[in-house]
Amino acid sequence: MSPLHEVPAGSVPPRGLPDHLPQGEQLLWQGSPVAWQLARHAFHLPKIAVYFAILLAWRIGGALADGATVIVALHGAIPLTVLTILGLGVVGAIAWLSARTTVYSITTKRIVLRCGIALPLSVNIPFRMIASAGLKPAGDGSGDIAVKLPAGQRIAYLSLWPHVRPWRVTSPEPALRCVPDAANVANILAQGLVAASGGKGVAVSGVGTMPIDTGHAAPGVGAAA
């Protein structure tokens, strides 16, 4: 069974999980993306704002160069200004809704990503399917934790976006995007991987990019936990 499946309509699973945890499995951590950081890093809201600012400056500057007065130039830029506000508002709202409807969970056996604004999806990533993982911290303590799947295991990039490591389109890496206190979450994941592997094959580096080499995943492992 594929690790990506739609939550059955009408079901009421526990928060962030597709179903009740099986006996012997425990929840280690649960959280959601920081909305502003998700808007910044996944939806690139500041870059979009800069793009529109350049267009506005070009529009006003062009009108002034053609001999228009400042008032006329500003008046002529009103439609583009309205479009800019609407565009940034829509992108920001989508990012906020994405963060609000996303729940990441780490259990003693797997990572669960529950996401989707209109159509909730649940992605189960058993620890045995994780070949390695890495932390990319941000300045405010939040950060991304991406996991690399072994050869032969793949999840469609567009189906998972934005909960995926950026620009890894050919070999998508599911990611916990913009989680708060990311270093602590990475440590929880590392400890879970250590326990799941019997204390073997996990190495965690220091500050900065944190590779977590599990050393126990193998190609062809089933996706369902």
Instruction: Evaluate whether 209 touches 135 at the Cβ level (below 8 Å).
Output: yes
How far CA 76 is from CA of 81, 141, 153, in Å, comes to: 10, 43, 54
pLDDT at 220: 29
Look at residue 180 in the predicted model and tell me its pLDDT.
94
**In-domain check, residue 8:** no
Indicate the SS3 state at residue 18. coil
Beta partners for residue 114, in sequence order: 103, 122
- 10 assigned to some structural domain: no
The residue segments making up the domain with residue 151 are 108-213
Task: Decide which of 68, 98, 128 is a domain's last residue.
Answer: 98
What does the pLDDT read at residue 164? 92
Domain count for the chain: 2
Pair (67, 114) in one structural domain: no
Whether 209 and 132 map to the same domain: the answer is: yes
pLDDT tens track, the chain, 225 positions: 445 444 444 445 678 888 888 888 899 999 999 999 999 999 999 999 999 999 999 999 999 998 889 999 999 999 999 999 999 999 999 999 999 999 999 999 999 999 988 888 889 999 988 888 889 988 788 999 999 888 777 788 888 899 999 888 888 899 999 999 999 999 999 888 888 877 654 443 333 344 444 444 433 222 332
Structure tokens at 56: 């506005």
Per-residue model confidence (pLDDT) at position 10: 46
- Token duo for residue 98: 């994405």
Sign of the four-CA dihedral 176, 189, 157, 159 = negative
**Nearest CA among 124, 147, 136 for reference residue 22:** 124
121 and 197 in a single domain? The answer is yes
181 and 125, same domain (yes or no)? yes
For residues 9 and 120, is the Cβ–Cβ distance under 8 A? no
